[in-house]
Amino acid sequence: MQTAMIEQQLELRLASRMSRLGTETAFVVLARARELEKQGKKIVHLEIGEPDFDTPSNVVEAAVDALHKGWTHYGPSAGLPQLREAIAEYVSRTRKVQVAPEEVVVVPGGKPIIFFSILALVDEGDEVIYPNPGFPIYESMINYLGGKAVPIHLQEENDFALDVAELASRITDRTKLIIINSPHNPTGGILTRKDVTEIAEAIGDRNIMVLSDEIYSRLIYEGEHFSIMSLPGFKDRTILLDGFSKTYAMTGWRMGYGVMRADLATHMTRLMTNSNSCTASFTQIAGVEALRGDQSSVDKMSNEFRRRRDAFVVGLNKIKGFSCRMPKGAFYVFPNITRTGWPAKKLADALLEEAGVACLSGTAFGAFGEGYLRFSVANSLENLNQALAQIQDWAGKNLR
Ligand SMILES: Cc1ncc(COP(=O)(O)O)c(C=O)c1O
C-alpha cells in the first residue's frame, strides 16, 4: 500500500483525559521570568519552591564516590535495600511508629507518590478530599485519573489549618482518599497534634486511606511536626510522603519516598517498574548519607529560612494593601492582597512584568487561593529586601 503524501500537519489526537491534566504554575512563571531576563530585565525570583542552598557537601561526596564505585546500574524498583532500611529507621524514629523496610518505596522525588497513590487507589468517581489552596498536583492528578475532587477550603482565620468540621461534612461512602499536607504549601500553615488527632477522629474507623504529605516536616518554626501515621489505627491507613528535595536541598536529584502498608508497597513498586524501573542508584547511596550523616546543614537552612521569613513578613505588612500572617513552617509566605483591589493573578503578573518580582498567584493553588499571593523566601535576605523595595515602589505608583 502506498503511503499518502501528507501536506498539512495532522491533527493531534490526544486522549481526552489530557484536557483534565493541570500543571504547576511555578514552572510557567519561572519560564516567563527567564524570558524577561533574556531581554535584559532584572528579576528577583520568589516563585519557585526550592532551597537556594547547595546540597550538603557530604551528600555530594557520597554520590561522587558512588559513581566511582559503579553505582550506575539498575537497582530494585522499590529502592536499594540500604536506603529503604535507612528510611525505615528514620521514619520509625521521627514518627514514633515501627516501620519496616518492606513498607518503604523509593521514587524519583516526592511527586510520584502523589501520582502513584491516586493511580493505585482511586477508581473513576471515587472521591478524594484535599486542601485548597494546596499543592496543585493533588487536584490535577485527581481530575486526570477520573476521581472526584472534593476541596476543603483552608481559611486564613483558622491560620490555614484544616477545618475538621468541614472535613467531617465532606466524607461520604465514596470517599477513598484524604490528602493532608503539613507544613503546608502554599500557606506555611501547620497541623498541630490536636488538629491531626481531630482529623483522625473525624475519619473514625472508616476504611479510608490518608495521603500525608510531609515533605516540609523538617522546616518548622513553631511547635513540632506530628504525623497522622503516629496515631493508633492509622499506620495501615496512611501513605506518608517525604523526601530529600526540601530537607537537604536536593530538588534536582529527584529522590523521595512513600511509607505504607507492605501490600500497598508491592503495588506501588509495580507502578515504579512500569514507569521508571527504579530511582537512580548513585543518588540513593547519597540518600543514605543524607539521612545518616551530619544533620547540621538542615538546622542551618531552617534557621536561615526563619530569619528571612521574619524579615519578609514584617516588610510585606508595611506595603499598602498587603497583610500577612507569620507562617509556621515550609518556606513560603502567603499574604492577603484583597485590600489592593486587584485580582491575585493580575497582581502577580504586574509584579513580574512591572516590578521585576516573580511570585505566584494564590489561584495557582486552587480557586480558594483568590485574594492571596505566594512568595518563596528561599532566596537571600538581600534579594528579599530588594523585592520588598520594588513591590513598595510599584504599590506607591499603582495602588490607590
Ligand atoms: C507539598 C509538596 N509536596 C510534594 C512536592 C514534590 O516534591 P519533589 O520535588 O520532591 O517531587 C512539593 C514540591 O514543591 C510540595 O510543595
Residue 7 is predicted with a pLDDT of 73
Mutate which of 111, 187, 257 for ligand 1 pocket (most atoms within 8 A of beta carbon): 111
The pTM for the full model equals: 0.96
Q: How far is the CA of 238 from the centre of ligand 1 (A)?
A: 18
Is the confidence at residue 378, as pLDDT, over 70? yes
Cell of 245: 528535595
SS3 211: strand
Residue 1 is predicted with a pLDDT of 52
pLDDT tens, position by position, 8-50: 889 999 999 999 999 888 889 999 999 999 999 999 999 988 8
Cβ–ligand 1 distance for 215 under 6 Å, the answer yes
Kindly report the average pLDDT of the chain as a whole number: 96
Alpha-carbon span 246 to 325, nearest angstrom: 22
Q: How far is the CA of 63 from the centre of ligand 1 (A)?
A: 22
Helices (H), the chain: 25-38, 57-68, 81-95, 111-121, 136-144, 164-170, 193-203, 262-275, 281-292, 296-316, 344-355, 381-398
Cβ–ligand 1 distance for 133 under 6 Å, the answer no
Residue 50 is predicted with a pLDDT of 87
Cβ–ligand 1 distance for 185 under 6 Å, the answer yes
SS3 content of the chain, % helix, strand, coil (to 5): 45, 15, 40
Question: Shortest CA distance to 117 belongs to which of 189, 203, 252, 208?
Answer: 208
Cβ–ligand 1 distance for 255 under 6 Å, the answer no
Q: How far is the CA of 129 from the centre of ligand 1 (A)?
A: 18
Region 311-320: mean pLDDT is 96
Is the confidence at residue 5, as pLDDT, over 80? no
pLDDT above 70 covers a percentage of the chain that reads: 98
* Alpha-carbon distances, residue 87 vs 284, 291, 295 (angstroms): 11, 7, 15
Is the confidence at residue 155, as pLDDT, over 70? yes
4-18, 50-64, 135-149, 230-244: least confidently modelled range = 4-18
CA 322 to mean position of chain CA atoms: 25
Is the confidence at residue 4, as pLDDT, over 90? no
Is the confidence at residue 6, as pLDDT, over 80? no
Q: How far is the CA of 239 from the centre of ligand 1 (A)?
A: 15
